[in-house]
Amino acid sequence: MLKAIRRSLSRDEGFTLIELMVVVMIIAVLIAIAIPSFLGFRKSAQDRAAQSEVRNVLLSEKAYWLEEGDYTQTAADITALEPNASIAAAPANGVYIDLNAASSDVVCITRTADSGNTFSVWESASAGTYYGATDLSLADCPAAAPGAYTQGGW
């Protein structure tokens, strides 16, 4: 019996290099699956945040229109109704608002998400709300809803 105990104590215990490499490979495969999913969720969250900002400013614009009879492009008017609104001179820095030159009854609201996607709303007091994914800040706010825009949301 003493001989068996000595034999078991003299053996080296541990993992072989092959076993360790198999574990490292399994972990690498799991990470390769998890990281793209995580980045996709992050991009989706950034898009939803930008859409939410645009919707909040749109609600403020509608409230302003109900009180004043036209839309506003002034940041102070919007932040008076929505204190958390981030009105900016460019869509990448916050929510960009543009009025139609011919009519103050048409407003375009654009925001570029941190993911790089752009979300816009074209709102008319008479025609309704249209949602799209093109940057309306690059051109003047059109008098009619852009063709690719839909009324159902993004």
Helix (H) or strand (E) holding 130: strand 128-132
Q: What share of the chain is helix, strand, coil (3-state, %, to 5)?
A: 45, 15, 35
Neighbours of 31 (CB within 10 A): 9
pLDDT in tens, 29-43: 999 998 988 888 989
Write down the residue that tokens 């990281």 correspond to: 35
Structural domain 17-138, CATH architecture: 2-Layer Sandwich (3.30)
> Which pTM value belongs to this model?
0.73
Work out the pLDDT band at 26, boundaries 50, 70, 90: very high
Decide if 85 contacts 115 (C-beta within 8 A).
no
Query: Domain extents for the chain?
Result: 17-138
pLDDT > 90? residue 146: no
- Per the DSSP assignment, residues forming a β-bridge with 121 are 109, 131
